């Protein structure tokens, strides 16, 4: 169970006003272990003097370590950088915006979620295909192979398929499997949660999972081809309007009221 009070300390200590802070990683994906670190992601807003001045802008703020017994991996991007990523085929930022595990939110965050729906395109399939290929290569290099990276492979592919078919961002593997109905997913999750002693995959299962990986890759490719999602995002103007308002009127009040 995540201690939200401990996480709020990092929100309050952040050097810039935050539009939102949500939890990503294993907790979002539905299979956190008791020792899983907490991946905190979000958007901050730089003050005008940093944007217009000569000094380097702190577009990304990172913080990693163990605090009050909780392992934290915090990464936030300035609003302009984050909004730019939203207009590309980047699934990470969409998952962060729509994460139901909210530590800090504002009215601007709610507005951003509405705009994010207009930034989803069928080309986001390329993000998930590429991410899955990278995870699969990492999984193949392991000796002995572990369950955890394999779960990441399946999570990525099912998220991509679901996105192409419904236009909805869903990163929780357990929720995704309610539709996919893959009998082995629950067993893999239980193996991962049981602990290191059962976290390795029997060698005999490798051929089966290689076939499943290929099958789901093909399914994602077909889902992309058949998807009714648009070719290009339509949310640029709305993102620009939100950014201008936050910069000019609301950046110093985001943490307080979330109102422009």
Helices and strands (H and E) in the chain: how many: 12, 5
Is residue 99 domain-resident?
yes
pLDDT at 1 (0 to 100): 67
Asked if 114 and 15 sit in the same domain, the reply is yes
Asked if 239 and 114 sit in the same domain, the reply is yes
Asked if 219 and 244 sit in the same domain, the reply is no
Q: Total domain count for the chain?
A: 2
Q: What is the pLDDT of residues 166-187, one digit of tens each?
A: 999 999 999 999 999 999 999 9
Asked if 88 and 212 sit in the same domain, the reply is no
Is residue 25 domain-resident?
yes
User: For position 50, which CATH number holds?
Assistant: 3.30.460.10
Which residue segment(s) compose the domain that 95 sits in? 4-119+234-250
Is residue 76 domain-resident?
yes
Q: What is the pLDDT of residues 211-253, one digit of tens each?
A: 999 999 999 999 999 999 999 999 999 999 999 999 987 555 5
Asked if 136 and 221 sit in the same domain, the reply is yes
Asked if 240 and 114 sit in the same domain, the reply is yes
Is residue 15 domain-resident?
yes
What's the predicted TM-score (pTM) here? 0.92
pLDDT at 33 (0 to 100): 85
Is residue 257 domain-resident?
no
Asked if 68 and 15 sit in the same domain, the reply is yes
Q: Is residue 192 a contact partner of residue 33, using CB atoms and an 8 Å limit?
A: yes
E-strand ranges in the chain read: 18-24, 38-44, 60-67, 70-78, 102-104
């Amino acid at each position: 169970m995540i201690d939200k009070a401990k996480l709020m300390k990092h929100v309050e200590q952040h050097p810039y006003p935050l539009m939102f802070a949500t939890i990503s990683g294993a907790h979002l994906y539905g299979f956190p272990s008791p020792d899983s670190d907490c991946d905190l992601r979000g958007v901050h807003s730089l003050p005008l003097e940093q944007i217009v001045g000569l000094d380097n802008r702190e577009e990304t703020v990172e913080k990693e370590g163990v605090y009050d017994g909780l392992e934290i991996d915090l990464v936030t991007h300035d609003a302009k950088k984050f909004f730019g990523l939203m207009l590309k085929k980047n699934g990470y930022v969409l998952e962060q915006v729509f994460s139901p595990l909210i530590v800090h939110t504002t009215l601007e965050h709610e507005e951003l979620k509405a705009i994010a729906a207009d930034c989803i395109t069928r080309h986001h399939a390329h993000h998930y295909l590429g991410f899955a290929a990278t995870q699969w290569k990492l999984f193949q290099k392991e000796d002995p192979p572990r369950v955890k990276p394999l779960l990441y492979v399946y999570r990525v592919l099912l998220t991509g398929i679901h996105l192409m078919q419904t236009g909805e961002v869903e990163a929780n593997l357990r929720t995704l499997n309610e539709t996919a109905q893959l009998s082995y997913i629950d067993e893999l999750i239980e193996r991962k949660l049981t602990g290191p002693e059962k976290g390795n995959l029997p060698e005999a299962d490798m051929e089966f999972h290689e076939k499943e990986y290929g099958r789901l890759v093909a399914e994602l490719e077909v889902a992309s081809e058949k998807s009714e999602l648009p070719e290009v995002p339509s949310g640029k103007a709305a993102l620009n309007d939100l950014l201008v308002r936050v910069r000019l009127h609301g950046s110093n009040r985001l943490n307080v009221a979330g109102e422009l």
